[in-house]
Structure 1
Amino acid sequence: MDKIVRAWVDGWVLSRGAAPPVVEPWGYTVDVGQAEHVTRHVFGATNDEVEEAAVRKVAEGVTGTGVWLKVFAEPSTVGAWLGEGWWIDPEPGYLMSVPLAGPSEGAGTEGAAPDGYRLRTWSRGGVTRVMVAAPDGSWAARGQIAPTGETAVVDQIETAERHRRRGLGRLVMGTLARAAVARGAETGVLAGTPEGRALYESLGWRVEAALTSARFTGARTDSDHQG
């Protein structure tokens, strides 16, 4: 199985407080424990190595709502492999990585928060979190990182819409990268959105594979087919 996928699974589990991953012949099963995200099945292969037969078999075995599939291939490809009852995110995600050699290598940039903003960093349970508060005290940006040895997974990077284009995303990413390096991590891994991809690539991250996210909503009925 792909090492970057395993690194992402391990870091995501730590970051979100999910159950330890169960290794499957085709990848990993992770129990999350939320009503709309009960369990996720993450396939261990990427790109051309993803097997249609494996995806179909796992998808056909899902009967409960709130179960997710994470497949490292384009949605247009994976969608044709899934039966009724699956909602597929129309926008692809991206599995990305970067060397965490330091800010000069593109993991982030040094710098303080812009005038009036407040940066706060703390660690708990192996996860480092960063928050940026706006001048009025409201939330402006956030993110977290979960080191698991030589790799660290960046997770839940967000910037409030009215505070974008002020360098807060770069500030959060750089702060998280330095925290992970201090704990011995050498490679950063994340699953990004199309919106976040531009920021990450500007910081030296590279795309390893597309990511399709699909959630089982239940078998479709006749009424579901009506306009």
Structure 2
Amino acid sequence: MDRIVRAWVDGWVLSRGAAPPVVEPWGCTIDMGVDGHVARHVFGTLDDDVEEAAVRKVAGAVTGAGVWLKVFRDPAVAGGWLGAGWWIDPEPGYLMTLPPTRALDEPAVPDGYRQRTWSRGGVIRTMLAAPDGSWAARGQLAPTGATAVVDQVETSPRHRRKGLGTVVMRTLQRAAAEQGAETCVLAGTPAGRGLYESLGWTVTAPLTSAKFTG
């Protein structure tokens, strides 16, 4: 399995509290055990190294609704390998990495907002509350040694364009450096790609996400 894919899998499992990954010849299977996300099959290679036959075989063996596939290939290509019953996210995802970096200065929180950062179960979380006390932004980091995975970065639609995403990301990147991580990994969306690239992240591979609906 590609080392960046494996780093993302290990961090995602820690971040979400999922079952340990079961290694397969083509990648791995992760049991999540919740409605709509029973399990996910993650393919372990990138771009042209992804084997169409393997994707078709794994997808064809899925019979239960709520099983996901994660394939590091453009959806315009990988989507054509999936049969009936598969919902394919129309937006491409991105496997992104941040090279080794020093610890950043503590980010400045916009006036009126309150930030809190804490660690529990090995996962570092940060959140921002709005001036009225409502939720504004959040994100979390799962350090796994030499790598750390950024996960579940969100900003409330009411509080976008105020720099809160930057505060969250800089906080998590700073925490990763303090934990001794050499590389950070995340799975991003088109909406977040611009922010991540402005902070030094680069795209390693495209990502197709698909869910079996039965």
What residue identity is the alignment partner of 2:122? G
Q: CA deviation at 1:161?
A: 1.3
Consecutive unaligned residues in structure 2, runs of 5 or more: none
Cα 1:188–1:131, aligned 2, differ >3 Å: closer, same or farther? same
Partner of 1:101: 101
Partner of 2:159: 163
Partner of 1:221: none
The two structures have a TM-score, normalised by structure 2, of 0.98
- Match 2:119 to one of 115, 123, 141: 123
Q: CA deviation at 1:212?
A: 0.3
What residue identity is the alignment partner of 2:21? P
Kindly provide the CA deviation profile for residues 142-192 of structure 1, in whole angstroms up to 9, marking residues without a partner as x: 000000000000000001112111111111111111112111111100000
Conserved? CA contact 2:103–2:175, under 8 Å: no
Q: Structure 2 matches for 1:9-24, cutoff 5 A?
A: 9-24=9-24
Q: CA deviation at 1:204?
A: 0.6
Partner of 2:85: 85
Which runs of structure 1 show a deviation greater than 3 angstroms over 4 or more consecutive aligned residues? none
How many correspondences in the alignment?
A: 214
Q: Structure 2 matches for 1:176-191, cutoff 5 A?
A: 176-191=172-187
What residue identity is the alignment partner of 2:135? W
Partner of 1:222: none
What residue identity is the alignment partner of 1:61? A
1:91 counterpart SS class: coil
- Match 2:201 to one of 201, 205, 208: 205
Distance (whole Å) between structure 2 residues aligned to residue 84 and residue 141 of structure 1: 37
Deviates more, 1:62-71 or 1:172-181: 172-181
Partner of 2:147: 151
Distance (whole Å) between structure 2 residues aligned to residue 144 and residue 121 of structure 1: 9
Distance (whole Å) between structure 2 residues aligned to residue 151 and residue 101 of structure 1: 12
The two structures have a TM-score, normalised by structure 1, of 0.92
Partner of 2:42: 42
What residue identity is the alignment partner of 1:81? W
What residue identity is the alignment partner of 2:185? V
1:165 counterpart SS class: coil
Kindly provide the CA deviation profile for residues 18-49 of structure 1, in whole angstroms up to 9, marking residues without a partner as x: 00000000001000011100000000000110
Distance (whole Å) between structure 2 residues aligned to residue 159 and residue 102 of structure 1: 25
Deviates more, 1:159-168 or 1:116-125: 159-168
Deviates more, 1:187-196 or 1:170-179: 170-179
Distance (whole Å) between structure 2 residues aligned to residue 124 and residue 158 of structure 1: 19
What residue identity is the alignment partner of 1:198? G
Kindly provide the CA deviation profile for residues 76-117 of structure 1, in whole angstroms up to 9, marking residues without a partner as x: 10111111110000101000000241256xxxx642211110
Q: Percent identity?
A: 74
Consecutive unaligned residues in structure 1, runs of 5 or more: 219-227
Distance (whole Å) between structure 2 residues aligned to residue 102 and residue 143 of structure 1: 20
* Higher alpha-carbon Rg: 1
